[in-house]
Amino acid sequence: MLTIDFLDDENYSSDLEKEDIESLLNYSYEFLKQSEDAEVSISFVSEDEIKEINRDYRNKDEVTDVISFAFLDDENDDIEIPGMPVTLGDIIINTNRAKEQAEEYGHSYKRELMFLSLHGFLHLLGYDHMTKADEKEMFGLQKEILNAFGITRD
């Protein structure tokens, strides 16, 4: 089972959007045949907040749409406390940028928000797009999961 903690002090996202994201990520977790209990946090932030995070942690002084911070990596992927869920990490979404991109790409805000959530989630599970082969795998998987879940480019 996947538990998701939402952090949204400024109410950038609705309860329905959070429920949709939670359903998609739980579906994705099962789709990827993950069986251990895990938890993820998702924060919704402004352009200024994500720019600051991007600058401070990634040395990129620019606004972006989503950032993920995986807790597990090669150094600490064997950290496990019996009876406790594995903490996968944090996903931070800039809802303003998501709205802009939805309009730019010609699909719904819901679709963009779901895409960004899944994209960040796959990063927490170790997927990346640093090489062409990795990009093809990750983006193909995103499309496959979204389509199977019923989220298309509408």
Question: Which residues are part of a known binding site for Zn(2+)?
Answer: 119, 123, 129
115: which 2 tokens?
């895409």
How many angstroms separate the Cα of 132 from the Cα of each of 128, 129, 145? 10, 7, 20
How many angstroms separate the Cα of 18 from the Cα of each of 38, 51, 79? 17, 23, 28
How many angstroms separate the Cα of 28 from the Cα of each of 56, 72, 78, 125? 30, 18, 22, 11
* Amino acid in position 150: G
Q: How far apart are CA 94 and CA 66, in angstroms?
A: 6
Q: Binding site residues, as ranges?
A: 119, 123, 129
Q: Report how far apart the first and last C-alpha atoms of the chain are (Å, whole number).
A: 30
Q: How far apart are CA 53 and CA 92, in angstroms?
A: 9
Contact call for residues 1 and 88 (beta carbons, < 8 A): no
